[in-house]
Each structure stands twice: as C-alpha cells, then as structure tokens.
Structure 1
Amino acid sequence: MKSMIIGGIILVLALLAGTYFAAGDAFIGDDYINSLTMLGAVAIITITVFVALKYVNQMRNDTASGDLAEEKWDGIGEFRNAVPTGWALAFIGTIIWMFWYFTVGYPINGFSQIGQWNEETLEYNAKFEKKWENPSEETLKAMGQSTFLVQCAPCHGVDAEGIDGKAQNLTKRISKEQVVHVIKNGSNNFKSVYPDGMPPMMLTEDADINAVADYVAGGFKGEQPSSFAACSSCHGEDGKGMEFVAPNIRAYDDAVVAAVLKNGKKSAIGTMPSFDGRLNETQEKALAAYLRSIGE
C-alpha cells in the first residue's frame, strides 16, 4: 500500500507539471478565474488518482460482505451496502461548490466580456437601423456594394461573376443551365417565404424545357413560348412572381434576396449556405439593390 501511495504522489506531481507546462502562461497574472481553474485542475487530478488507487487497493485486498438483496440478474446478486462515505461527501461537496461558483466564484449575473460585446452589438445595430431607416436608392446601392464585398465576394468574386464556376454569376439573373436544373429537379429552398415550393418536372419534353430556359435566361425577350404557361400560373405572365406563391424570376427583388440569404440555395453548380441572422433587413435590401444595379 505504501508503494501505491508513493506512486500516486509521483503521478499527481507529473500530471500537474504537465498541466502547468502546457498551459502555465494562462495562470500568470491577476485574473482570479485562471487561478480557480488551476485549483480545479489540482483537485481533479489529485482526487482522480487517489480514488483510482483506493479502488485498485480494494480490488486487490477487500472481500465482499454484507446482506444480499433479493433481486438477482442472471444469477448475480448485489450486496445491500451503504453508499461509500467518500462518494457521498464528494457528491454533496460538488453540489455545494456548484452553488458557490454560480453565486460567488463566477456569478452568472456578473460582468462578462461576451455579454458586453453582445450589448454593444445590439446598441450599434439599433443605431444603424435608425440612421438608415429610409435610405435612398443610391445609398442602398453603395451600402449593398460594401456588404457584397465582405459577405459575398469570397465565393462570387469582386466582379460578381463567380469564381471558377463554383458560385453563381450574379451579373446575370439566371442562366439556362439553372433554369433547366430547377425545371427537372424542382425547388424547395424557400419554404419559409414560398411554402408550396416548386415540384420537379413541370415540363417533361426536352424541347419545351429548352424553349422556356432560353426565354427566361434571355431576359424574357422575344416571343414567349407556349410551354411557359406551366410557369406563368405561379410566376405570373411577366415572371415577376406572386407573393407567398412563387419568386420573381426576372430580377433580384428584395423578397428573392432575403429568401436566399435566410434559406441558402441549391443549384446546378452547388449549394449556398444560409446567411440567416448575419445581415439586418436594411443590409438585405441594400444587397438586393446592388445586385439589381450590376445586372442593368
């Protein structure tokens, strides 16, 4: 037993030395939270090692005793022994420590850098929204360009033409390949805005699909193909969509851009993740205004 205690002390010292070597710089300074963390590490390491040694010693030397419970599982019974004193004290001590930590050691209503950052962010956003509550179209375009360069350009490129074909070319409202993809696969990306979505294969003949794709991708110029009737019932004769039914497929209107930012988008060339919560309503409108301007 004596050799086990000596070995346990050596192991505790080795683990503490390793902890300090790995994170010692974090414990230098006046921040008492770091000191509490180090104290917690000392307690955890010490308790873990000596509890493990205690039970190893018990397994080597103790013999079972006490009254067997009546219940058995597969012929294996349990002794009706009391809860170990050390375990019970550790359990109660952990509960006491929890209340102390939440109320005194690191109170949940105390100062928090994260909380301060959140408060300042909310205050800034409120000022931003009030300042730009009714911006002009030119102001929206300028704001949208700044937003685009930060949020969108990493994938779509600073010129909005996409990077190596891995993101949509935003200088064009929609390409023929994208129209064909949506017709054949349907679209359920915007259910929060357009609940019914679009079922696949609204058109089944390749000639009809290509005619509609050419017409839509070409900016609705020229003679409208008769097969576009399958689309106009939801998107309208002019392709400008219907509220809560289908999006505008002629231009980047505010509703379409807001829906894409909120839900993300699956297309023929990949998937765009959701940007929900990253932009406020004014920034979303500004981005839509900018996208419309570069497509003019």
Structure 2
Amino acid sequence: MKSMVIGGIILIIALMAGTYYVAGDAFSFGEDYINDLTMLAGLAIIGITVFVALKYVNQIKNDTASGELAEEKWDGIGEFKNQLPTGWALAFIGTIVWGMWYWTVGYPTNGFSQIGQWNEETLDYNSKFESKWQNPDAATLNAMGESIFLVQCAPCHGVDANGIDGKAQNLTKRLTKESVIYTVKNGANNFKTQYPAGMPPMMLTDDKDINEVAEYVAGGFVGTAPESFGVCAGCHGPDGNGMAYVAPSLKTYEDSLVASVLDNGKKANIGQMPSFKGRLNETQYNALASYIRSLGE
C-alpha cells in the first residue's frame, strides 16, 4: 500500500505539472484569485480522483467478501445484504438537490443570456415599429412593401415580380390558367387561418369545364361566365371577389390571402413556397400585400 501511495503522489505531481505546462501562461499566482482557485480546484480534483482510485484498487486486492447472503440467487451468484454506502447515498441526494436548484434558481434560467438579451431587444424594436407604423397611408405601405419584397420575395419571384421565367408565381397577375387548373384538380387546403375550410380538390371533374373556368378566371373575368363557373361562385362569389372566411378573391391579392400564404406556405403547379411565419409582423404583411396589388395595377 505504501508503494501505491507514493505512486499516487508522483502521479498527482506529474498531472499538475502537465496542467501548468499546458495552461501556465494563463496563471499569475497572487495577482488573480480566480486563477489561484482554479489551480487549487484542479489539484483537489486530481488528488481526490487518484486517491479514491487507489482506495478501491487496494480493496480489490486485499478485501474479502463478508456479510449475510440474500436468499435470491441470479445465475447461481449470491448477493450480500450490504447497506447502501453513506457517501454514495449523500452524493445521490446532493445531486438531486443541486439539480432542483440549477433548474429553478441557478444558471442559466436566472443568469444573463446574450440570446435572451437579443430577444428582448428584438421584441422592443418590433413593438416600437408597430407603434410607429400603426396607421400608415397607402404611399408609405407601398414603399415599405417594395423594400420587403426586394429582400424577402425577389430572390424567387424576381425584382419585377414576373416569376423568373416560370420558376415562381408571376405576381403581376392574380392567376394564370395553369395555376387555376392545378388548384381545381388538387385543391388548396393550406389556408389554415383566414379560410379554415380550404378548397377540396376536383370540384370540377370534366376537363372541358376545367379549361373553360381556367380561361375565364385567368382572363380577368371578361365576357360571359361559363356555366361551370357556378361551382366556383358558391364560395368565391359570382363576381370572383371572394367571401370573408370562406374563400379569397380571384381578382386581387387581399391582405388576408397574402397573410395566409406567408404564414402557411403554398404548393402550386410550379413548386413549393416555404412559410415565412415569424419573420414579418402584421404591418409588414399588409405593406407587402399593398405593394403586390400595385404591381397588377
């Protein structure tokens, strides 16, 4: 045992010397008590670890099993009715107490957080923004919407909103024939807030009827409506101007429609648009809708 203790002391000295060799430049003994405490903590951890390991190694080598055997035997191996070690039990209870403190009072729930500070500043800025632009006029909305469009929408829809050769929706038009046909055949059930019922697929099943309706709607409702448009008029209205909380207007980009698409994304005949929920506030939604409407005008 004496040789093991001597070996343990030598190991501690070697580990501390290695620690100081690697991180010694960061320590100035006597000048910064934090550094001093850090080195003392390192010495304590290494010392305790080494001597605890030596204790159990010595027990493995020299101790003999004793005590009362339990009646149960698993695979022929008996178990002693030993009491739970006091140190282990106290450490277990202490860990539970420390965990409760950590999650209720201690760091990080009650400490400074850069992310928390950033969130607070962002919420404060958004509150000031919404207060400042609570009732903007049409010109202000359009100017704000254009700025938002160029940053958030132009990468897919193009700076002039023409859809970049069919890679995204052409926003200078409310609907194209192809998009109407796709919606009739596949439905549009992603409008989860403003239009909770959505639109089921295949309200029209005959290809001739679908093409007539698509040409009429995409053509701007010019001329006499085909008879098959009556199926659509039940929700969108006979003039295509839509009904609140039932179906959007087929003629213009309403605020509620733009908000629904931005919140939920949209799958159409040319691909999938992701959700922008959380990126913009209500004023910015309305500004973007106002600017998109002005493109058609």
TM range (shorter): 0.7 to 0.9
Q: Give yes or no for the alignment of 1:270 onto 2:271.
A: yes
Alignment-mate amino acid for residue 95 of structure 2: T
Shift of 1:90: 3.7
Match of 1:222 in 2: 223
Change (3 A) 1:241 1:104: closer
Change (3 A) 1:281 1:64: farther
Q: Give yes or no for the alignment of 1:161 onto 2:128.
A: no
Q: Give yes or no for the alignment of 1:203 onto 2:204.
A: yes
Could you give the per-residue CA deviations for residues 157-213 of structure 1, whole angstroms, max 9, x where no partner exists?
A: 222223464322222212222211111111210122212111111011111111111
Match of 1:147 in 2: 148
**Count of equivalent residues:** 279
Could you give the per-residue CA deviations for residues 105-142 of structure 1, whole angstroms, max 9, x where no partner exists?
A: 63633433323222222222222112111111111010
Match of 1:294 in 2: 295
1:111-126 aligned at under 5 Å gives the runs 111-126=112-127
1:45-56 aligned at under 5 Å gives the runs none
1:11-90 aligned at under 5 Å gives the runs 80-85=81-86, 87-90=88-91
Distance 1:96 1:223 in 2: 78
Q: TM-score, normalised by structure 2?
A: 0.74
Distance 1:236 1:253 in 2: 15
Q: TM-score, normalised by structure 1?
A: 0.74
Could you give the per-residue CA deviations for residues 63-105 of structure 1, whole angstroms, max 9, x where no partner exists?
A: 8776566678898886554445554344334345446656886
Distance 2:80 2:170 in 1: 73
SS in 1 for 2:221: coil
Distance 1:264 1:74 in 2: 61
SS in 1 for 2:185: helix
Distance 1:243 1:286 in 2: 20
Match of 1:238 in 2: 239
286-295 or 239-248, which deviates more: 239-248
Distance 2:229 2:77 in 1: 75
Match of 2:32 in 1: none
Change (3 A) 1:107 1:195: closer
Match of 2:195 in 1: 194
Match of 2:30 in 1: none
Distance 1:167 1:76 in 2: 72
Alignment-mate amino acid for residue 113 of structure 1: Q
5+ residue gaps in structure 2?
Answer: 27-34
Shift of 1:224: 1.2
Shift of 1:259: 0.8
Alignment-mate amino acid for residue 155 of structure 2: P
Change (3 A) 1:57 1:217: farther
Distance 2:193 2:75 in 1: 55
Distance 2:154 2:200 in 1: 31
Alignment-mate amino acid for residue 148 of structure 2: T
Change (3 A) 1:144 1:74: farther
Match of 1:284 in 2: 285
Match of 2:139 in 1: 138
Alignment-mate amino acid for residue 292 of structure 1: R
Alignment-mate amino acid for residue 294 of structure 2: S
Change (3 A) 1:100 1:183: closer
Change (3 A) 1:85 1:136: same
CA-based RMSD? 4.3
Distance 1:199 1:96 in 2: 56
SS in 1 for 2:272: strand
